[in-house]
Structure 1
Amino acid sequence: MKIVLVSSLTLSVLLIVYPQAILFLYSIKNVTHIPVVLNALRIFAISYVGTAITFLYTFYAQAIQKNQLSTIISFLEGLVLPISLAIILAYVFGADGIWISFAIAEALTILFIFIYSRLLNKKTNGEYTGFFINKHNDDARVFEHTIQGNVEEAINLSREVQDYLKGNKSATLVSLAIEEMIVNIININESVNAIDVIVRKNEDNILIAVKDNGIDFNPVVENAELQFDNISVLNKIAEKIDYSRVLGLNSTVITINN
């Protein structure tokens, strides 16, 4: 958020102060058009900060597996609000209203996200909080660890998880699932910088969340072309496996019943 705010604000200020610097991108040849284009650029530049925030949030919502929210934001910001506002504001302000509509559309989309996050906070009695709808976790029930992409660390991690779940009847299965998943990730990639693993104990099941920046790898689909693909073991012991590819990361959530 800090990065997109600083970069988008910098770009907005530059375009507002020096819009003529990018006139060449639009191939403006008629000198009578230059004042119109400069004015349009200055107004449109105001929307850049809002666009940066809504784009960030769109991908963030996907990353936390709230795809419906991501779709709604894209629909509001990219279609419904700018078109409806452009029609209304063009009637009131003329051509300038079209460019103003983009900035207002971004502001209203951000307002929608803010209201949504507040309502979700109330609905869940504080389970989700803040603009980024962070979920409170009971640290005693969550195991988090990051390893480098090598087999030795994968085996050590599976042992640590088994110790963490000591006394749980599914401890061995969870440990095996993690080892199979990570070893496959390592074997199908030339190198993996880091693999994040989160294990959460629930009343009825245990959730294993694995994220890595390797090549596309959906463990639900067995691939005969992969030399080391023995992921069939994982598919047999898991109750459910959800996979998505978001922001260049493989995101896999494995459910194992207690």
Structure 2
Amino acid sequence: MLGFACDVVHDGVEALAALKNTAYGFLITDCHMPNMTGYELARRVRADEQGGSRRLPILGIIASTVPEELKKCHDAGMDDCLIKPTRLATLRDRLNRWWLTENPTSQIETPARQQQASNEADDDRLDLDAMAQLWGSEATVKALLDAFVSSFRDDLVALRNLLDHGTVEHLREWHHRVVGAASVLHYAPLLDALETYRRDLQTKSSAQRRSDGLALIARCEQLLETIEAQGAAIV
């Protein structure tokens, strides 16, 4: 949609293999992947570049603006970060920045700058027109919303079980997975609710995690009803 040809692979191992066979202009990688994380992928790419004259621009994709995540991207050798959800306009701006600049300096953004960009990009309503443009038709958007609501309700059932029997790591894994799915909608209220629950998850007591988790479930169920209603309104 932005005019760039691209190859998509499943994880860091496949990405590293593809990089050995093709001279790409950019590498865009999720930071949390199975088999090989985006951080390890970036470190391997930088190690392979040692002694050469070419530096591949690497853009990491993360779901959180916490300074530790941004520092991990920088320390791994990434040049820039994109925070989920990322709009096409933001992606175009970042790609053009690296495309037009021969020797750019690192553009890892601070949480404040990322939050400002997020606030400018997000709205309290689903942008159905933009989704139709992205996904091809209103019928496709309706099907996507129906599938998302059904799947997310299953995720909330899973969360309820984790609140009783899961560990903090299980909750973090659940959060990362559902944020990735929710980012497709660019729906700020849902993403804000998920981010609020994630904050200080490690330091909360088990009772507080459960209480906050139940509040999150109630909030998400309310938002899912809103999403469902907007989907039902599509003729």
Name which one, 1 or 2, has greater alpha-carbon Rg. Answer: 1
Higher relative contact order (CA 8 A, sep 6+): 2
Scaled by the length of structure 2, the TM-score of the pair is 0.30
User: Which protein has the bigger strand share?
Assistant: 1
